[in-house]
Chain A
Amino acid sequence: GAVVSQHPSWVICKSGTSVKIECRSLDFQATTMFWYRQFPKQSLMLMATSNEGSKATYEQGVEKDKFLINHASLTLSTLTVTSAHPEDSSFYICSATSSGTGAETQYFGPGTRLLVL
């Protein structure tokens, strides 16, 4: 199946630091990428949908100025958590689809664990 990578796999940072997470589709062109957040014992919550070359669409309640998303190419999307605080500590997962219409199957990256001290 399709492969999606994320980097870094885990981050520990001080409060106030900005953290950048990369999501790459390794063997296909991802016109759409999704960013999710998952808190312990909770389900994945969609944060935003990102289409290559256009602005991301954020879900209600997600601060676009705090979670900056860039989808500059068909294989790379980045999520930057600006001025991270302890409440931002979570498991961030990206997924990608290979169809321009937002295909049915999403391929997930391995996730990035963020711990803000």
Chain B
Amino acid sequence: RKEVEQDPGPFNVPEGATVAFNCTYSNSASQSFFWYRQDCRKEPKLLMSVYSSGNEDGRFTAQLNRASQYISLLIRDSKLSDSATYLCVVTYTGGFKTIFGAGTRLFVKA
């Protein structure tokens, strides 16, 4: 079993749709959680951190459930520019150990 697993995708949605990505992690010692966005042939860029209380940044909402070892990302009112691969990232050992999920590809169509 992979340490971090994500919905395989791809997700094909129309503009304006709401889309949700899920991610599960296997190591209960995991300490910090993030969602990164990676455009084709580019480096990953931090989208947002994920907290137990949940956090929202504009159209993006992230949730963490430590008991179920589950992370989610919700994108509302999808834009064409949201098309990318979304990576679930988990760190532990004080940040020295980072595990990336395989990513979920999102295609937003006009």
Contact = CB atoms under 8 A, between A and B. Distances in A.
Contacts of B93: 102
Nearest to B33: A104
B43 A111 contact: yes
Nearest to A4: B43
Contacts, number: 48
Contacts of B95: 97, 99, 101-104
A40 to B, nearest CB: 10
A111 B42 CA distance: 7
Interface residues of B, number: 21
A34 B94 contact: no
Contact of A104 (B42, B91, B100, B102): B91
Interface of A is mostly: loop
Given A102-B94, A103-B95, A93 B43 contact: yes
Contacts of A91: 41
A110 B42 contact: yes
Interface in A46-83: 46, 49
Interface string A78-95: 000000000000010100
B99 to A, nearest CB: 8
B44 A108 contact: yes
A21 B94 CA distance: 27
B61 interface: no
Contact of A44 (B45, B91, B94, B100): B100
30 contacts: A32-B96, A34-B98, A42-B102, A43-B100, A43-B101, A43-B102, A43-B103, A44-B44, A44-B87, A45-B100, A93-B44, A97-B95, A99-B95, A101-B94, A101-B95, A102-B94, A102-B96, A104-B32, A104-B34, A104-B49, A104-B91, A104-B95, A105-B34, A105-B49, A106-B46, A108-B43, A108-B44, A108-B45, A111-B42, A111-B43
